[in-house]
Chains A and B, each alone.
Chain A
Amino acid sequence: MALAPNMPKSWRAETKPHKFCPGCGHGLVLKALGECIDELGIQDRVVFGCDIGCSLLSWDFFNTDSIQTHHGRTTPVLTGVKRARPDRICIAYMGDGGGYAIGSQHLVNAASRNEKITTILVNNCNYGMTGGQMAPTSLPGMKTETTPYGRDVELTGNPTQGPEMVAAITPEGAYVARGTIANLRQLRKMIKKALETQINGTGFSFVEALSACPTNWRTNAKDTLHFVEKEMTKYFKVGELKVPGEKEGK
């Protein structure tokens, strides 16, 4: 079958259309990633790893070697691959629960060790696959299945500032940024820089992508976009936090 004109070359046509919900942000992030893989010409070198949660639906998304791992464990699996085979381009793809809750120790330590892998973390403010429970990134006051009266930060803490944390613990040479599906051109640039960081071998690279979960948010198209653009960015500042060769605090 012929590829649709806007489908990245590295996508696997046989597994499309993909299985994400309508309006889900994963497809957009994975499109940006696919385009970066194409542009950099690394498809034959990529080992793609996806977590548990909605991210697992990307296990056969690309024409790249791919490993679907356990919840939170994509980081160590790809760390294991990279350490054994440094010539591979290892991309760990996960959600906010996988990266900031159950797998947070792996994220923290991979960042501290400056592992030469790329982590792309999709932040949609909730656990999507399990039905919309509170995530580390759920916004204050946000209603989820486990905070039906709204997230009480007194009881549950504040939303995790992932890139800020990763930027604080990575040494010079790492790349850390937060992008959003509301600005795909910028997100693509960030992912590309992250992959280049890995290719250049200067350090850990991390991109959080603000994303949307209309199914669990129970929002229409307009409200979904509003939530991503206006609500989430109140807490999650979009931009680069750390760029190899550039002074921090940019």
Chain B
Amino acid sequence: MVDKPIKGEKRYFVTGNEVVAWAALAAGAEIMYGYPITPQNEVMHYWTRLAPKYNRKFLQTEDEISAGFATCGGVLSGARAFTATAGPGNTLMQESMSMAEMMKIPTVVVVQQRGGPSTATVIYSQQEVTMTCFGANGEGLRVVYSTGSHQELYDYTIKAFNTAWKYRIPTFVLGDGYQAKMRESLVMYDPEERGIKMVPTEKIVGKEGMPGVEREPSHLRNTYNTEDELYDVVEKLVRDFWQAAPEIVEHQEFDCQDAEIIVVAHGVVTRAAQAAVKELRAQGKKIGHFRPVTLRPFPREAMKKAIANAKELIVVESAEGQLDKIVKAEIYGCSKPITGYFKPGVGITAEEIVEFINKRG
């Protein structure tokens, strides 16, 4: 029996990519499939150094199309499998993720967002929100956790495996280049020791017993012959998704109760938003912050409640309105003015949020 990768609880000071590798190990991931792309590379670097010590495997594929589909194959065979990517790699991976959506393949993908469109920068952005939530020809039947710190990268990478396998929904951990490359402290732990039970995996193909004799064969497909046949399938997928959604959605709110203005932000930008709220409150202004942790499914009811007393919303993101679009769709019917503070591909600080709000008077 190989030792557990993490024993007890211990504070670490490492990069986010290393955090992801450790979290996947701690979660019992058996195999990673990957293809080099910055700023995700070190997830593979750490995984390939650590994996053999814990009897885990790695395959470097020829591209992200292959990495995504190989992950689907690994998962179908019953392995807790994952991949990690970014930017143009995420674009290529959408094809396989639409298959995962259709066939309910519990894949886990860690995305470290980089600048876009196109090759852009290898640094940072929040421009992969639309793609990660709704990419490819599909209905956005995925779970997307948007993390904002190393602790969350660790917690939600572990959680992603459980969400994926419990509900059989492809699950994404949406980080970014900052989180990938920066160092900060976090506490790593063995999930079981914390009472987090890892949801068991299941062989979806390659089951025991003679197919057709002792059991039915697994015949999996994503192609349908008639509209009605497809509709039945998709309708069931959609129903399952929305049935699971209330158990999956997560959010955080900060001083929303009496706030006149509520800053809406996700991912690493929540850090700036939280600091800005603190500062503005200190200046005597009634400001709050609402943060969706799951971008898909979106914590709609929680948000409607949180903003009930507000006069105005300000959506702050490192993209040209990708979160903004989701927010507007989710709170449809809300007549409060919504202003955007958009910085596509650029980091956002607390100071500039404070300045933006103060300038508006």
Query: Is the Cβ of A70 less than 8 Å from the Cβ of B209?
Result: no
Tell whether B30 is near chain A: CB-to-CB under 8 Å.
yes
Tell whether A59 is near chain B: CB-to-CB under 8 Å.
yes
Complexed CA–CA distance, A153 and B222 (Å): 35
Tell whether B5 is near chain A: CB-to-CB under 8 Å.
no
Tell whether A231 is near chain B: CB-to-CB under 8 Å.
no
Tell whether A47 is near chain B: CB-to-CB under 8 Å.
yes
Q: Which residues of A contact B212 (CB under 8 A)?
A: 10, 12, 43, 63-64
Q: Which residues of A contact B68 (CB under 8 A)?
A: 76
Complexed CA–CA distance, A65 and B77 (Å): 10
Against A, the Cβ 8 Å flags (1 = close, 0 = not) of B208-234 are: 011111000111111100000000000
- Which candidate, B58-66, B312-320, B340-348, is the interface stretch facing chain A? B58-66
Against B, the Cβ 8 Å flags (1 = close, 0 = not) of A128-161 are: 0000000000000000000000000000000000
If A73-B65, A83-B57 touch, whether A56 touches B76 (CB-CB below 8 Å) is no
The contact of B70 among A62, A83, A85, A108, by CB within 8 Å, is: A83
Complexed CA–CA distance, A75 and B57 (Å): 19
Against B, the Cβ 8 Å flags (1 = close, 0 = not) of A115-132 are: 000000000000000000
Q: Which residues of B contact A43 (CB under 8 A)?
A: 210-212
Query: Is the Cβ of B57 less than 8 Å from the Cβ of A69?
Result: no
Q: 8 Å CB contacts to B: which residues of A197-246?
A: none
Q: Which residues of A contact B74 (CB under 8 A)?
A: 80-81, 83-84
Query: Is the Cβ of B69 less than 8 Å from the Cβ of A80?
Result: yes
Q: Which residues of B contact A45 (CB under 8 A)?
A: 206
Counting chain A CB atoms within 10 Å of each CB, the highest count among B63, B209, B213, B220 belongs to: B220
Q: Which residues of A contact B63 (CB under 8 A)?
A: 105
User: Would you give the shortest CB distance from A34 to chain B, in whole angstroms?
Assistant: 12
The contact of B219 among A66, A82, A88, by CB within 8 Å, is: A66
Query: Is the Cβ of A81 less than 8 Å from the Cβ of B76?
Result: yes
Query: Is the Cβ of B33 less than 8 Å from the Cβ of A80?
Result: yes
User: Would you give the shortest CB distance from B229 to chain A, in whole angstroms?
Assistant: 13
User: Would you give the shortest CB distance from B80 to chain A, in whole angstroms?
Assistant: 9
Query: Is the Cβ of B218 less than 8 Å from the Cβ of A79?
Result: no
Q: Which residue of B lies closest to A11 (CB)?
A: B212
The contact of A81 among B62, B65, B73, B95, by CB within 8 Å, is: B73
Tell whether A170 is near chain B: CB-to-CB under 8 Å.
no
Against B, the Cβ 8 Å flags (1 = close, 0 = not) of A163-191 are: 00000000000000000000000000000
Tell whether A106 is near chain B: CB-to-CB under 8 Å.
yes
Query: Is the Cβ of B220 less than 8 Å from the Cβ of A68?
Result: yes
Query: Is the Cβ of A44 less than 8 Å from the Cβ of B209?
Result: yes
Q: Which residues of B contact A79 (CB under 8 A)?
A: 59, 61, 66, 70, 73
Query: Is the Cβ of A65 less than 8 Å from the Cβ of B79?
Result: no
Q: Which residue of B lies closest to A79 (CB)?
A: B70
Complexed CA–CA distance, A108 and B66 (Å): 12
Query: Is the Cβ of A85 less than 8 Å from the Cβ of B79?
Result: yes
Q: Which residues of B contact A62 (CB under 8 A)?
A: 217
User: Would you give the shortest CB distance from A137 to chain B, in whole angstroms?
Assistant: 22
Complexed CA–CA distance, A210 and B161 (Å): 44
User: Would you give the shortest CB distance from B107 to chain A, in whole angstroms?
Assistant: 10
The contact of A65 among B30, B81, B217, B222, by CB within 8 Å, is: B217
The contact of B206 among A59, A69, A77, A85, by CB within 8 Å, is: A85
Query: Is the Cβ of A80 less than 8 Å from the Cβ of B95?
Result: no
Tell whether A60 is near chain B: CB-to-CB under 8 Å.
yes
Query: Is the Cβ of B206 less than 8 Å from the Cβ of A47?
Result: yes
The contact of A69 among B79, B99, B218, by CB within 8 Å, is: B99
Q: Which residues of B contact A105 (CB under 8 A)?
A: 62-63, 65-66
Q: Which residue of B lies closest to A72 (CB)?
A: B65
Tell whether B205 is near chain A: CB-to-CB under 8 Å.
yes
Q: Which residues of A contact B223 (CB under 8 A)?
A: 52, 56, 59, 68
Q: Which residues of B contact A12 (CB under 8 A)?
A: 212, 217
User: Would you give the shortest CB distance from B33 to chain A, in whole angstroms?
Assistant: 6
Tell whether B72 is near chain A: CB-to-CB under 8 Å.
yes
**Apart from the given pairs A63-B211, A66-B220, A84-B57, 18 other A-B contacts in the complex at a CB distance below 8 Å:** A52-B223, A59-B223, A60-B221, A68-B221, A69-B69, A69-B99, A70-B96, A70-B99, A76-B61, A76-B66, A77-B73, A80-B74, A81-B76, A83-B33, A84-B31, A84-B78, A85-B206, A105-B62
B contact residues vs A (CB 8 Å cutoff): 30-31, 33, 57, 59, 61-63, 65-79, 81, 95-96, 99, 205-207, 209-213, 217-223
